[in-house]
Amino acid sequence: MPVEVTWWGHATCTIEDSGVRVLTDPLFARRFAHLRRRRGELPGPEAAVADAVLVSHLHSDHLHLPSLARLAPGSRLVVPRGAVRAVPGLRLLRTVRGLRITEVVPGEEIRLGEVRVRVVPALHDGRRLPVGAHRSPALGFVVEGEARTYFAGDTGLFDDMAEAVGPVDVALLPVGGWGPNLGHGHLDAGRAAQALALLEPRSAVPVHYGTYWPIGLDGVRPHEFHAPGDEFVRKSALLAPEVAVHRLAHGERVRPEAAR
């Protein structure tokens, strides 16, 4: 069966390949910290069903402890090296929920049945903010089964990106954020289209936009909330016209190869 990708909102995706179901950066909250979910229904229980969960870095919108608590007892959780030390709540989840936590760094691989997951670098601040030490790297992952699916997490462009990531068939790329300005180590729609031209996948899905926004800032630069997905489609058509881009609605799924 071809790889199938579901976008639940923000950086949360399900990748199904070769009978293995992988969940990325689960965030199942209507509201947390200073953010609220402004678009898309809150994912139902089926979104938390996975053979393994990949966490790209320690920021609370990517490593969200209440969302990880929704995973089935005994679930496999893959996190950056140093995460358990930096985020004490992970130790509680390991003890109470029986989560099987594996810490990894770029260059390592893990096996999930018929699927191999390669850990690749990302250009992003991987600390547990606001006061975490620089002990945990930000990561991307390439899920390799019948297809090679790259989940970028949060990253900026970097010089050897294509070499570090390697050949991929599908790219899940961040194209926006949750506030009126994107800082260093992020991709906006234009930079994500440049990344697409470097990586040369067959298909792409824009993520990390149009879901959460700061409370009280609905009227501040609203185009940065609504527009990145469409803007990525337009810019990708110019910079990487051979790539099929699938802009999904929240909860929508696609078989990228079948949809070409």
Element spanning 112, H or E: strand 109-112
Q: Judge whether 80 and 90 are in contact, CB under 8 Å.
A: no
Is residue 157 helix, strand or coil? Answer: coil
Q: How far apart are CA 206 and CA 247, in angstroms?
A: 6
Confidence of residue 208 (pLDDT cuts 50, 70, 90): very high
pTM, two decimal places:
0.95
| 3-state class (DSSP) for residue 236 | helix
Please report which residue ranges of the chain form alpha helices under DSSP H: 65-68, 83-86, 89-96, 161-165, 189-199, 223-226, 228-239
Mean pLDDT value across residues 168-187: 86
Asked whether the predicted pLDDT for residue 135 surpasses 90, the reply is no
More confidently predicted of 189 and 219: 189
Phi-psi region of 114 (alpha: psi -120 to 50; beta: other; left: phi over 0): alpha
Percent of the chain at pLDDT > 90 equals 82
Q: Which of 194, 170, 193 is nearest to 254 (CA)?
A: 170
CB 11 within 8 A of CB 153: yes
- Could you tell me the pLDDT band of residue 132, with boundaries at 50, 70 and 90? low
Condensed to tens digits (0 to 9), the pLDDT of residues 63-119 reads 999 999 999 999 999 999 999 999 999 999 999 999 999 999 999 999 999 999 999
Q: What is the pLDDT of residue 243?
A: 97
On the 0-12 / 13-18 / 19+ scale of CB atoms within 10 A, 10 is buried
Q: Is 128 or 229 the better-scoring residue by pLDDT?
A: 229
Among the residue ranges 29-38, 106-115, 191-200, the one predicted with the least confidence is 29-38
pLDDT recorded at residue 130? 60
What distance in Å separates the CA atoms of residue 81 and residue 88, rounded to the nearest whole number?
A: 14
The 10s digit of each residue's pLDDT in 213-241 is 998 887 777 777 889 999 999 999 999 99
CB 213 within 8 A of CB 38: yes
Report whether 77 contacts 16 (CB < 8 A): no
**Any idea which of 12-26, 129-143, 224-238 has the lowest mean pLDDT?**
129-143
